[in-house]
Amino acid sequence: MKQDIYCPRCAAELRRKYRMEEGDTGKKEPYPGEGLRIVDGTARAFFNCDLCFFPIPEGAKCAAVSMWTHYAPYREWEHRYLKREAQ
């Protein structure tokens, strides 16, 4: 499973690419046998975006991006890096 932290701009680009709505945390299957999940929240610590390396300070909005296959299935991990926004 691949786990990344994205800045809001890169997360929005990924959502457009896979036609996901803002705030949609449902699991998608962009290609047969692959899964994608994007979870929005605020950073628990300082990070750099894993796509563009933009600095993400603690408390800033960001997204946790998970990509997986059945060989490396999805496991929840986002709560260790993000504080989830109120639903």
Whether 48 is covered by a domain: the verdict is yes
Residue 28, both tokens: 């998608």
Instruction: Give the tens place of pLDDT for each residue, 64-79.
Output: 999 999 888 999 999 9
Residues 66 and 34: their CA atoms lie apart, in Å, by 10
Whether 28 is covered by a domain: the verdict is no
Whether 8 is covered by a domain: the verdict is yes
Domain that holds residue 42: 2-19+33-64+72-82
Instruction: Give the tens place of pLDDT for each residue, 8-54.
Output: 999 999 999 988 876 666 677 777 889 999 999 999 999 999 999 99
Q: Is 59 left (phi over 0), alpha (psi -120 to 50) or beta?
A: left
Whether 13 is covered by a domain: the verdict is yes
pTM: 0.86
End-to-end CA distance of the chain: 26
Whether 41 is covered by a domain: the verdict is yes
